[in-house]
Chain A
Amino acid sequence: MVLFAALVAVVFGVIGKDTTSQRFLYGLKVFAEFSLIGLVIAWVFYFLPW
């Protein structure tokens, strides 16, 4: 999941913004969002009985 988030964040970062610093920050944001949402969904599924 982390590998997936990292690779998607790299490509999103490169195509998403115009300057290098914006790209870097956007890539970090996408990585954090993917990782965090993945963890949240995983814990939600853990508690679901069916």
Chain B
Amino acid sequence: MVSESQSTQIENHEALTGAGPWLISLAGWLVPGLGHLLLRRWGRAAIMFAGIMAMFFFGLLMGGHLFTVSGPDQQATSLLLRVPPVIANFGTGLPYLVCYVLDLGFTSRAILPTSEYGNTFLWVAGLLNYLASLDAFDIAVGRKP
């Protein structure tokens, strides 16, 4: 006889196949922590969400700005220098897309002394979310507990 909690535990250790892990990973990229939430890793999901979102909002509060490939502030810069920060920012998923649709946070505020720190926070928030998304994929395919 297997209790409900044991059954959930066993279910958690079953590896997903097919499109499942990819969808979990995509969900984890879209909303930080959602991939882990779907895998029932409640604690990890909450920590991921709180950590990455805190980094994103602190970045904006410090005067950092989000990047686009064709934004008005980036026209004078080489494409090679414009793309990497966009890739990093894009890692945050939905928060970046919401800001893009609402046109929030894309204006450079270089006059603020903390703006470069803010940019770094915003880039690292996205990069950490890529790692979190890959972690959710690994858990989903059974590579990690």
Contact = CB atoms under 8 A, between A and B. Distances in A.
A4 B64 CA distance: 14
Interface residues of A, number: 9
Q: How many B residues are at the interface, by size bracket?
A: 10 to 19
Name A's interface SS.
helix
A43 to B, nearest CB: 19
Given A15-B131, A15-B132, A18-B144, A10 B47 contact: yes
A7 B50 CA distance: 9
A36 interface: no
Interface of B: 44, 47-48, 51-52, 54-55, 58, 117, 120-121, 124, 128, 131-132, 135, 144-145
